[in-house]
Every structure is written in structure tokens, then in C-alpha cells.
Chains A and B, each alone.
Chain A
Amino acid sequence: EVQLVESGGGLVQPGGSLRLSCEASGLTVSRHYIIWVRQAPGKGLEWVSVIYSDGSTYSADSVKGRFTISRDISKNTLYLLMNSLRAEDTAVYYCARTSAGDIWYFDLWGRGTLVTVSS
């Protein structure tokens, strides 16, 4: 079965750090464009960071300099390292795959992992 499974969420204090994982099965992460999208409680969807198949990475201005997306090809897993966390980073974080290269709609999503930033 082709799937993405996120993990690593939890409760963290403001200013703290957390690393999210997105483990892929049935697909090879290095061949796909994969994005992290977040959804704050009761809110809509917001892109966070993306990694291209060639390894290039980009992040939204709201997280630039604080969040880093990376991947481990040997583990077929993507990561989102989140530093200097703020209350407004509280959200469910999803990883998702583009259907075809750099055509940015998403045909496969994980179930998400909840990050809560609170003291």
C-alpha cells in the first residue's frame, strides 16, 4: 500500500524544538516532490516547507529560518525540524506528495501529527 505516515508531534514549550517524521511506503521519496502542510485548530490549510526530488528545499516566510525540511533516502523518510517554536505554530502537520513532479496538487496525504506549542 502506498502511504505516508507522520509522527513526532506533541506538546512543546514556546521556544522549544521538535522533529517531525514522514515515513513513506510503496513509494520512493527521492523521486517525488513532497510538502509539509499545516492546519491550525479550526482553520484552513497552509503550506510550510517543500523538498523537490533533486533535494532543493523551500519554506514559507512564516517559518523561514526556524524550520528545516530534509530527507533520509536510506530510511525513505522525510523530516521537519522545527526550532524556536511559537504558539502560532500549533497545528496538525501533514506531509503530502504531488501527483506529478512540480505540478502542485496533492494526491497522497498522511494522517497528520499534532503539534501543540504551549507553556
Chain B
Amino acid sequence: EIVMTQSPATLSVSPGERATLSCRASQSVYNSLAWYQQKPGQAPRLLIYGASARATGIPARFSGSGSGTEFTLTISGLQSEDFAVYYCQQYNDWPPHFGGGTKVEIK
């Protein structure tokens, strides 16, 4: 099974700044990588699929990049509603595995 590792575990960022989140796969998942946002008490929300394609309704300040084993989620100009936990998930191999998450908190 493919193991997904996210870093850092917690990221402290000031509103308006850029946040850069990393996700590493234990073996190549090509571009079969999704990112989700989860706020307290809410379900995960799909942000990015195919490593870089934004899901419907997702603002352009969210961007994904990478392929193979190294991926990045960038949030440009953080807004108050962006402070949340972010998960990556590979879907190249069965079963789908999620990373442990990165919490983006207000600095």
C-alpha cells in the first residue's frame, strides 16, 4: 500500500500571506493526487484533483503542483476561511490512502 506523508503537521501563517503544503508518496502515484480541506465539525471538501485541477467552485488562490512522489498545495493570499486542516490523497493504487493532514493556523 502507498503511504502518504504530509509536512509540516502545523503551519502558522498570517492572513494575506502564502501557505505552502507538502505531500509525499512512498511510490509514484503519477498525477493521481487529490487535496481536501476540512474545517472543524465539517466533512472534507475536494479542492484539487489530478494534482493540479481545481474542483468546481474552488477559488484560484488554491493551486496544486507536482507529480510522481512530490506534491504541493499552495494557498496564495490566505483568507480567514482558509484556516483549516488539509489532506492529500492518492488514487493511483487501491486502496485510496490519505495523508495525515496539515493544519493551517493563524499566526
Q: List chain A positions with a Cβ less than 8 A from chain B.
A: 35, 44-47, 60, 94, 96, 99, 103-107, 109-112
Contact = CB atoms under 8 A, between A and B. Distances in A.
B91 interface: yes
Interface of B: 32, 34, 36, 42-46, 49, 55-56, 87, 89, 91, 94-101
| Interface of B: prevailing SS | loop
B96 A104 contact: yes
Contacts of A44: 87, 98-101
Interface centre among A45, A94, A103, A110 (most CB of B within 10 A): A45
A111 B107 CA distance: 29
Given A44-B87, A45-B87, A60-B95, A105 B46 contact: yes
B34 A46 contact: no
5 contacts: A44-B98, A60-B95, A99-B49, A107-B56, A109-B45
- Going nearest first, the 4 A-B pairs with the smallest beta carbon separation are A109-B43, A105-B34, A104-B91, A45-B98
Contacts of B36: 106
Contact of A106 (B46, B95, B101): B46
